[in-house]
Structure 1
Amino acid sequence: MNRLYNALQLKRLYQLKQLGVQYVPLVEKRASVQRSLPSDLKALEQIVSQCQLCSLSKTRTKTVFGEGNPNAELMFVGEGPGAQEDTSGRPFVGRAGELLTKMIENAIEIPRSEVYITNIVKCRPPNNRVPTPEEAYTCLPYLQKQIELVSPRIIVALGATAYHYLTGDKTGISKVRGEVIEMDGFKLVPTYHPSYLLRNPSAKKEVYQDLLKIKRLLCEN
């Protein structure tokens, strides 16, 4: 009941926002929103697999919770699952996933299995569209709990959608990519989404510089 109550409260807040009421970003309110969620990733994944709190649950094949080292120092957060992720139940397994793996292993020089990878929403939006605010805000407590449990030192926001919902800032990704932003308990580094790089290969040079910066941050004590 508490989980349903919290989700309904988030939906009411979203409706108020549509009327012009301003939010405090939900990332800043993690403790109160997450209180009723389990302090175990497996148990949290089980809850997500049964979630029907937004319309995405009606069109998904599988939920895509996330995967990787549960004690990772580095976490990657994307927008949402695509078609192959929806079928497999794993994040970033298509072409964008192959590129992300190369980014992690060739530039940062650590195995993909040593990082944690997830998304803003855990179900595929139809036709790979951007999640609506209602969908994202309904799903966000799951991500916030993942962040709390994994407790990474650095989170990489892959693309504008991830950056926006992690920070509440609507600044374009091209203006903030590569910045190191101090958050509550971790550093956030925004960069372009691998899908964007597949469409715009020339941007790989910029992302490579971002990844080298992340590598240096990981080496700091």
Structure 2
Amino acid sequence: MHLFIGELLQTLHQALLLKKLYLLHSCGFSYCEPQFLAPTQQRFQSQNIGDLKMMVESCKLCAQKSSKPNFGLCNANSKLVFVTLSPLFDEQIRFSSRASIMLKNIIEGVFKLSLKEVSILSLLKCEIPKQSAQVSIESCMGYFLKQLEFCGAKILVILGAETYSYLTKDENSYNGVQGKLLKWNHYAVFPTFALSLLMRQPELKINAHREFLELKRLMGEKNV
């Protein structure tokens, strides 16, 4: 009962904040960065990555899923967290798909990091039909936020407009935030190209490489 009341109060607070932002905008105020609403955090008893992994892999929250839950790659003390919409790996966390191999090359070739120095997480933990994605992401969000706590990274690389929109609830144009380092929920987020888009349009890899180099420069300034 206390948990329900807490969530209700948080929802009311978010609605009032959003109303205030719209009012300020109508009066001519503008913002140099999007104003994000903090996601609702579910409470878990898990005290380590292993416990959380067991919870995710045994999850039965979504009836629409067409695959087994996938925990992703979650390493403690990660320097970067790469965030996708759907799982990138198979059950054995192998880099076997074109998208996962591309990301591996970016991590090692551009950022000069080992796979043990990063985490690769997805908002959805299963393959979910697109029409059910929003509801399922809300179910998965508690798992994702807990993963962020355990991996310890402060910079999230958001791969794609859909992933960014579902995570931040920002409805503004993705072009206005892509390639920029923003603040979200006590983290720095860096929205960039979706891996699927880079595979469909290889000519965009030049722009993506430029954005990754910019993030690498910013990481150097922050001593990350």
TM-aligned CA deviation for residue 92 of structure 1: 5.9
Which consecutive unaligned segments of at least 5 residues does structure 1 have?
A: 14-20
**Structure 1 runs (4+) greater than 4 angstroms displaced:** 21-27
Q: Give the deviation of 1:63 after TM superposition.
A: 1.5
> Is 1:197–1:204's contact at 8 Å kept on the other side of the alignment?
yes
CA spacing shift, 1:37–1:66, aligned 2, 3 Å: farther
Residue of structure 2 in register with 1:80 after alignment: 86
Q: Which of 102, 109, 121 does residue 105 from structure 2 map onto?
A: 102
- The answer on whether the counterparts of 1:39 and 1:149 sit within 8 Å (CA) in structure 2 is no
Number of corresponding residues: 198
Amino acid of the structure 1 residue aligned with 2:139: T
SS at match of 1:55: coil
For 1:7-156, what aligned pairs fall within 5 Å after superposition? 28-30=38-40, 33-57=41-65, 59-60=66-67, 62-81=68-87, 85=89, 87-90=90-93, 93-126=96-129, 129=130, 132-156=133-157
Task: Indicate conservation of the 8 Å contact 1:107/1:211, yes or no.
Answer: yes
Q: Distance in 1 between matches of 2:173 and 2:17?
A: 19
2:196 corresponds in structure 1 to 195
Q: Distance in 1 between matches of 2:92 and 2:119?
A: 15
Q: Which has the higher helix share?
A: 1
**1:35-82: per-residue Cα shift (whole Å, max 9, x none)?**
33423111111111111111244x21x321121422102100001026
1:18 corresponding residue in structure 2: none
Larger radius of gyration: 2
* Counterpart contact for 1:67–1:91, Cα < 8 Å: no
Q: Distance in 2 between matches of 1:176 and 1:98?
A: 26
Describe the shift of the 1:160–1:94 C-alpha distance in structure 2 as closer, same or farther (beyond 3 A): same
Task: Give the share of equivalent positions with the same residue, in percent.
Answer: 29
CA distance in 2, matches of 1:116, 1:171: 27
**Aligned-partner residue type, residue 219 of structure 2:** L
- The amino acid that maps onto 2:134 is P
> SS at 1:117's partner residue?
strand
Q: Secondary structure at the match of 1:170?
A: coil
Aligned residues of 1:34 and 1:141 also touching (Cα < 8 A): yes
The equivalent of 1:16 in structure 2 is none
90-99 vs 44-53, which deviates more? Answer: 90-99
> 3-state SS of the aligned residue for 2:191?
strand
Q: Relative to 1, partners in 2 of residues 1:99 and 1:29: Cα closer, same or farther, differing over 3 Å?
A: closer
User: Are the counterparts in 2 of residues 64 and 81 from structure 1 also a CA contact under 8 Å?
Assistant: yes
TM-score of the superposed pair, with normalisation by structure 2: 0.76
